[in-house]
Structure 1
Amino acid sequence: MSSSNLHTDVEKTAGEYTQLFNTNIRSFAWRDITVSVKDRVTKQPKNILQNVDGVVRAGEMLALMGPSGSGKTTLLNVLAHRLAATGASVRGSMLVNGTKSDLSNFRSISSYVEQEDTLIGSLTVKETLYFAAKLSLPGSVGKAERDQRIDALLTSLGLQKQANTIIGTPIRKGISGGQKRRASVASQLITSPRILFLDEPTSGLDSQASYEVMNLVKTIAVKFNLIIIASIHQPSTTTFNLFDKLLLLSGGKTAYNGAVSGIQLHFASMGYRMPQYINPAEYIMELVNDDFVRDDSKSASHVERITEAWNGTVLEKDIDREAVVASYTTIDEEQTKASPFLIPLILVHRSFIKSYRDIVAYQIRIAMYMGLAIMMGTVWLRLAPEQKNIQSWSNSIFFGGAFMSFMAVAYIPAYLEDHQIYKKERQNGLYGPAAFLVANFLIGLPYLFLITILFSVIAYWLSNFQPTAVGFWTWVMWLYLDLIAAESLVVLISSLAPIFVVALAATAFANGLWMSVGGFMVSPKTLNVFWRYVFHYIDYQAYVFQGMMVNEFADRTYSCDRTPGGGCECMYPSALSAECKIDGKAVLAVYGYKTGKTGLWVGILFAIIIAYRLLAWLVLYLKKH
């Protein structure tokens, strides 16, 4: 679809769409923004932004530009009331309609579009907007109005034909890169923000797609009096000319701050006349970039002269000092987003759709566990209740619990995708770690139970474990708790280190540790004191192994081997030795396991699961992202 057609669509929907936006925000300004961090070498404060001023009015679009490391992303984060940098000190003031803004009110009137399209790939475009609306709009917004906003945005951004197409996953193709950018913008516009921040909105797009996206944003900004602030790297001439204002940074200092139309005159006044037939954005970027020094015109002193020349320019007269209108002063954060009690349910609904469509999240895992069940059941096939098979049963019990737990690492990619979405939505003030983790826990329960049942139906009966209904369902209980604990461990480690390779290695190491100290490799009675008291008693696999062992051996007997002379040879002496049988409790005694403690072990497992989840909450809570 051409940009002219999209522009026409905006015009067509203007009547219904205009009412979505409250246009009482007339200006957004900032004074003396300075950001300092501690220099790693000198350990002294170092400014990465220094005394940056600016103002943007309703209906205008400002470009933040500068070479790599100039501070444009840092400034964008500061203006959006986000974390500037780890350990950074921020000074300065930001004004909405001439009055200082606070975090809660500011988040209710602004939205932020990330550089990367952090969208759920298995949702359709329309579902993406639906859940964005459900999470961010108050309960007072009814279904009809919500649907009106979604349809208006789909039409305005030229996405109506892709409404029922998925965003796209590594396995399933979805919409194009340019359409993803528009979907990202639409998901933020659903809340009718008056200030929209865009971080590298044209990243990864070709020249034509970049123009299409920014032309749409410009059209909406003008039509509905929005304030648009976008960091942008090196736009084409046509894309660059869409912007009303430019804030050019170099080394954290302002090199130019004013109308795009005044660039040539400003730099010509300093002796830098812009050649004809050259992209103005490209020319000024080269002019203020001192990373690659080739001649005197590119020297550091040359760039310093440009930034120092701008310091004499005063923006104070251009900053709107009008009083805040009454409607702005009454904005209440709690009334501008969904109820905190409904948010976990909305997240569960969204995760349910994602999980049954996302092959990686659970479908591949189910296939993996089914394969493991068939392998386990056919390797330990129909073991007879004889003493020669007792060790094989113990091995099978360990294998079933430990490797089912170990294979929970397959959940890491799906969790990391959810974690990225959480980071974005938390930064936009939609919800916190508690709602995210509650929804994550609830959505996993039915899938883990399905995995447990499918695995057990195959492996339990093929291996000829205790052939009773009670024995089967007790096995299912232990295996289910094992998977819940294993997935909770994945959530904790992946929250601590949300990098796939690191999370994978750390989770594998933790599972190896639990296997070593769980009581199978070395009996708890003879386990080294350090490993026993520091790790064995907090090892969830240890309680699963104990429970499964008791389930198999507590109420079962096994035949002893017959000697050539007709006698019996029992490996595990018990009261049944005279009958040439082994009481299964004698096997448990070797490991030091007692019966009648199932309730205690289940309680400890619940405590471990809760501890993992609470620690994950603490990690996410302390991370400000």
Structure 2
Amino acid sequence: MEDTQVDASARSLDVEKDAGADYAHLTNTSIQSFSWENVTVTVKDRQTKQPKDILSGITGNVKAGEMLALMGPSGSGKTTLLNVLAHRDVRGTVSSSLHLNDTKTSLRSFRKLSAYVEQEDALVGSLTVRETLYFAAQLSLPSSVSKAERIARIESLVSAFGLQGQRDMLIGTPIRKGVSGGQKRRVSVAASLITSPSILFLDEPTSGLDSAASFEVINFVKEIAKKYKILVIASIHQPSTTTFELFDKLLLLSLGKIAYNGPVSGVREYFADIGFDMPLFMNPAEFVIQLVNTDFSRDQNESTQRLHTIQDAYEKSAASRASKASSTHDTAKPTAISTDTAVQVGANPLLIPLTLIHRSFIKSHRDFIAYGIRILMYVALAIMMGTVWLRLSTHQSHINAFTNAIFFGGAFMSFMAVAYIPSFLEDLSLYHKERQNGLYGPLAFQLSNFLIGIPYLFLITLLYSLVAYWLVNFNPTARGFWTWVLWLFLDLLAAESLVVLLSALIPIFVVALAAVAFANGLWMSVNGFMVPPGTLNVFWRYVFHYIDYQAYVFRGMMVNEFGGRRYECGRGEDGGCECMYASRLQGECLIEGRAVLETYGYDTGSMGKYVGYMLVIILGYRVLGWAVLRLKK
């Protein structure tokens, strides 16, 4: 945490005193305009199977320091348009012409100059406000940006967004109260501004906020936009009057077409001119949304005709001609985009996994839900197991109990890895947001996720084993204990890797939970305990048994217990020796543990080979998890 303790350095730099100036000189001011022409998105209609335009011929522009509101009823295409303008993947076929300063844009250059704030605040709740900005800087700024400059940016943004009093407060977790909803949204915006972008995209920035908090957030954004000439484009749903009036321009959509595109101040006059007078004291945002919404109209024909009238009126209006004229580009003499002062987005890819591990470490030891509850759960499970199979003796009557305990210890421990699903899905949500912003890819995410889990899973293994192993009275040697720890540790690594794979494939909690539970049920059934491998149905044996990590764990633990231990036979009524398993020690009224292994077809050699199989399975799960994330956009 040395790097995150920025107080002392900040004081020495005295950055807070000149926060505004610091942010101003860091902001790229070379982008004067952003425009788009004839944005059209076509998808296949689910019912008719015919091509359908969800956006049709959308043209518009925004200039430095302006805020544009994208509005429209649900299904109007505003989020799709926002994603197209932000160079994000959208469903369907996209046709568009996007320009910065009359120069066509590319994905590579655009990401250096823009930032995108998701509708949902994908923040780590166990980080403080300042730590959130610190890690945003670490993941997005190149190593050429000095530590002093990073600190300056963090302090500038904290000051600019009015978060001085909350800088050391947690964002907030389900069991620990943090900053308010409006403050959380400000943190999201501030984190996106850490790279000093010229264009800021906001997807429903007021979603889930009351009118006061909504005004607070948009007002802060407006101040930053005006002061530092940032272009802001925000999709927003029915803001209050005061919030709506903070925007400079409105682009109103309905059924994929423009109903109005012009200054917010001219909304009332424009609609009055085309025959739709706005009532006095009515929220203009509410008025225009109701005007172009056809979903809840009692007379669909009337509402559809009204919408066509509005759209046709806009096509013929002076506002439409002005918009198209301002979006017409002189390709012979484009205005150059200077990126000399722009921040080159992208940290050193070799250091990104370390940054992610650092952030995950802070989360894991602060967030009790992430690992604390799991540790308590496993310790309670160890106490339960140890007291149920308490102090088993080496009499042959306890051999089956030993076998049952071995199966339970390995299989149920791996089954309980389902408790990791909520924490992983939270990390996955943050990963999707940061990947969309081009910060890092699935390899860095998978690598850091695996490495941060190793010490915690080993701690869980050790605590569980210290309690359960000696209470049950498994092979009472140091070698036996550490061999058990090894197999249980590999078991948990494989189980958690399976959770990562299935949760990445199906990132819905209930479905992921069911999938992981089913997979573990399958592995329990074919791991060799229920039915010995030699008598297992050939389909289940050759298709699933040999790729079942629980099978190798069960084998390894069985060999650890029975490979070098002896058990006393029982005595008959005549005092003679009666042994459950025949072995070479039967004459001494003893059972050699290897006789138990022979009933399962296990030998005591090649344990190194089976450890190798476990490592291959763990690696396989992680590679498949990486492939799933790589293929998913």
| Bucket of the pairwise TM-score, normalised by the shorter protein | over 0.9
What code does the residue aligned with 1:141 have? Answer: V
TM-score, normalized by length of structure 1? 0.96
CA contact (8 A) 1:75 1:84 kept: no
User: In structure 1, how many angstroms separate the alpha carbons of the residues matched to 2:256 and 2:109?
Assistant: 28
Partner residue of 2:326?
A: 318
User: In structure 1, how many angstroms separate the alpha carbons of the residues matched to 2:542 and 2:301?
Assistant: 69
Deviations 1:306-360 (A, max 9, x none): 11222232223213747343523x6999x43100000000000000000111111
Q: Structure 1 stretches of 5 or more lacking a match?
A: 1-8
Partner residue of 1:4?
A: none
* Distance change >3 Å, CA 10–CA 54, structure 1 → 2: farther
User: In structure 2, how many angstroms separate the alpha carbons of the residues matched to 1:298 and 1:380?
Assistant: 76
Shift of 1:269: 1.7
* Distance change >3 Å, CA 170–CA 140, structure 1 → 2: same
User: In structure 2, how many angstroms separate the alpha carbons of the residues matched to 1:286 and 1:297?
Assistant: 15
Shift of 1:295: 5.2
CA contact (8 A) 1:478 1:547 kept: yes
Deviations 1:374-410 (A, max 9, x none): 0111111111111000000000000000011000000
Structure 2 residue 132 is the aligned partner of structure 1 residue 128: yes
Deviations 1:563-612 (A, max 9, x none): 12121100100000011000000000000111111011001100000000
Partner residue of 1:6?
A: none
Deviations 1:442-481 (A, max 9, x none): 0000000000000001100111111111100000000000
Partner residue of 1:500?
A: 509
User: In structure 1, how many angstroms separate the alpha carbons of the residues matched to 2:302 and 2:382?
Assistant: 67
Structure 2 residue 212 is the aligned partner of structure 1 residue 203: no
Deviations 1:210-256 (A, max 9, x none): 11111110010000000000000001111111111000000000000
Shift of 1:305: 1.2
User: In structure 1, how many angstroms separate the alpha carbons of the residues matched to 2:452 and 2:500?
Assistant: 13
The equivalent position to 1:387 in structure 2, one of 382, 390, 396, is 396
CA contact (8 A) 1:105 1:332 kept: no
What code does the residue aligned with 1:170 have? Answer: P
User: In structure 2, how many angstroms separate the alpha carbons of the residues matched to 1:360 and 1:534?
Assistant: 37
Range 232-241 or range 289-298, more displaced: 289-298
User: In structure 2, how many angstroms separate the alpha carbons of the residues matched to 1:108 and 1:211?
Assistant: 29
What code does the residue aligned with 1:327 have? Answer: S
Shift of 1:294: 3.2
User: In structure 2, how many angstroms separate the alpha carbons of the residues matched to 1:266 and 1:495?
Assistant: 49
Q: Secondary structure at the residue paired with 1:278? A: coil
The equivalent position to 1:58 in structure 2, one of 49, 60, 64, is 64
Partner residue of 1:180?
A: 184
Structure 2 residue 330 is the aligned partner of structure 1 residue 327: no
The equivalent position to 2:447 in structure 1, one of 420, 424, 438, is 438
The equivalent position to 1:336 in structure 2, one of 342, 345, 367, is 345
User: In structure 1, how many angstroms separate the alpha carbons of the residues matched to 2:328 and 2:125?
Assistant: 42
CA contact (8 A) 1:129 1:190 kept: yes
Q: Secondary structure at the residue paired with 2:26? A: coil
Partner residue of 1:5?
A: none
User: In structure 2, how many angstroms separate the alpha carbons of the residues matched to 1:408 and 1:186?
Assistant: 36
User: In structure 1, how many angstroms separate the alpha carbons of the residues matched to 2:266 and 2:29?
Assistant: 28
Q: Secondary structure at the residue paired with 1:299? A: helix
Partner residue of 2:19?
A: 13
User: In structure 2, how many angstroms separate the alpha carbons of the residues matched to 1:394 and 1:208?
Assistant: 64
CA contact (8 A) 2:28 2:342 kept: no
What code does the residue aligned with 1:128 have? Answer: T
Deviations 1:24-62 (A, max 9, x none): 011111000001111111111111100000100000000
Structure 2 residue 86 is the aligned partner of structure 1 residue 80: yes
Deviations 1:157-205 (A, max 9, x none): 1111111111111111111101101011011011111100001111111
* Distance change >3 Å, CA 584–CA 75, structure 1 → 2: same
Structure 2 residue 248 is the aligned partner of structure 1 residue 244: yes
Q: Secondary structure at the residue paired with 1:338? A: coil
The equivalent position to 1:89 in structure 2, one of 79, 93, 98, is 93
Q: Secondary structure at the residue paired with 1:34? A: strand
Partner residue of 2:373?
A: 364
Structure 2 residue 300 is the aligned partner of structure 1 residue 292: no
Range 511-520 or range 308-317, more displaced: 308-317
What code does the residue aligned with 1:372 have? Answer: L
Q: Secondary structure at the residue paired with 2:143? A: coil
What code does the residue aligned with 1:32 have? Answer: N
The equivalent position to 1:567 in structure 2, one of 563, 570, 576, is 576
Structure 2 residue 524 is the aligned partner of structure 1 residue 515: yes
Range 436-445 or range 353-362, more displaced: 353-362
* Distance change >3 Å, CA 283–CA 499, structure 1 → 2: same
Shift of 1:14: 2.2
Partner residue of 1:454?
A: 463
Cα RMSD, aligned residues only:
1.6
Aligned residue runs from structure 1 range 410-425, under 5 A = 410-425=419-434
TM-score, normalized by length of structure 2? 0.95
CA contact (8 A) 1:412 1:504 kept: yes
Q: Secondary structure at the residue paired with 1:13? A: helix
Partner residue of 1:540?
A: 549
CA contact (8 A) 1:27 1:320 kept: no
CA contact (8 A) 1:287 1:298 kept: no
The equivalent position to 2:276 in structure 1, one of 272, 276, 291, is 272
What code does the residue aligned with 1:440 have? Answer: N
* Distance change >3 Å, CA 456–CA 11, structure 1 → 2: closer
User: In structure 2, how many angstroms separate the alpha carbons of the residues matched to 1:295 and 1:241?
Assistant: 31
Shift of 1:275: 1.8
Q: Secondary structure at the residue paired with 1:119? A: coil
What code does the residue aligned with 1:190 have? Answer: I
User: In structure 1, how many angstroms separate the alpha carbons of the residues matched to 2:95 and 2:619?
Assistant: 41
Partner residue of 2:9?
A: none
The equivalent position to 2:151 in structure 1, one of 147, 153, 156, is 147
User: In structure 2, how many angstroms separate the alpha carbons of the residues matched to 1:470 and 1:356?
Assistant: 31
Corresponding pairs, count: 612
